[in-house]
Structures are given as C-alpha cells and as structure tokens.
Amino acid sequence: MGLFDTVLKPSQPTVVYTPQSEAEAWIAIMFSCMAVDDDISNAETEKLSQIMVYKALFRNHDTVELYKTAMTRQLQLGSKELIDRSVDKVSAENKPTLFALIVELLLADGILADKEKEITDYLVSALDLDESLATKIIEVILIKNKGNFILQSKA
C-alpha cells in the first residue's frame, strides 16, 4: 500500500464483538465455517437448523437472533476472525463435539470446497484440538456418510 492509499483510505469503524454465551459462540463458529466459501447451500442451512433444534445448548436462546448476529459479524470480520473471537466461549469438553458437528455441516451438501477444507484445518488449531482426535472425527463422519446422496432441486 502506498502513502496516498494510507492517507486517502477511508477509516473503517472498529468492530467490537464477543459472543455473550456458548450458544452464540457455537452459531458464530458454525456459520463462519459454512460461509467461508461464499456459498451457503440449503443443505447446510437445514443441517444447522437441525443442530440448533436437537442440542440442549440452544434451549432458551433466540437462535434466529443469534443466526442474524453471526451473519452480520461474519460479513464484517470474516470467518477466521469471527472464529478467533468465539472459541474462548466454547467449553473444553464441547470442542470435539462442535468440531464433529461442523464436519457434518460442511459435508451436508455433498461438496467440500477447498476453502472449507482450509477452515477445517484452521478450526483444529483454533479449538486447540489434538490432530489425531480431529482426524478420527473426520474419518468416522466420512464412514457414517458413505453412500449418502443429496437431492438438490433445480432452480
């Protein structure tokens, strides 16, 4: 960046954000992973909705509002920054579960884009997961999903 670019660049307001609950952090991290490839599929959205319905963690939370917040913050901060601001709210015992759910979420549409693979690697580090555990989780989910197919409607 040149001197003129530095002087003429409009200042961006600083985004101050930290999730207020573990549920909010989970949704922020899951949404960040879904949105990293700029293509959120219906299958991914449906899988996230299913996770929010079945997990007790989300009871007594307005998940629609948490989802809206995650969308807004991901657009403002980007996926990695939003993950970084959220991981401290995830309890140590829940980190492997969250990782497993994210792997399922990213595989929901049957397509694993390069950016999704990259964010998965990033997430292992951000969540401070043992790499061998993360590998086992991925292997089990791939075995579980072997032979699945996605019915996609034509637009």
Residue ranges covered by each domain of the chain: 19-145
**pLDDT tens, 90-130?**
999 999 999 999 999 999 888 888 999 999 999 999 999 99
Is it the case that residue 151 has pLDDT exceeding 50? no
- 149 CA to centre of own chain: 22
CA distances to 10, 96, 140, 155 from 83, rounded to whole Å, are: 26, 15, 24, 32
CA distances to 42, 78, 111 from 152, rounded to whole Å, are: 9, 28, 12
Do 33 and 123 contact (CB within 8 A), yes or no?
yes
pLDDT tier, 12 (very low <50, low <70, confident <90, very high otherwise): low
- pLDDT (0 to 100) of residue 14: 81
**pLDDT tens, 40-98?**
999 999 999 999 999 999 999 999 999 999 999 999 999 999 999 999 999 999 999 99
Task: Give the pTM.
Answer: 0.86
Question: Between residues 59 and 145, which one has the greater pLDDT?
Answer: 59
- pLDDT (0 to 100) of residue 155: 39
Question: Between residues 50 and 9, which one has the greater pLDDT?
Answer: 50
The CATH class of the 19-145 domain is: mainly alpha
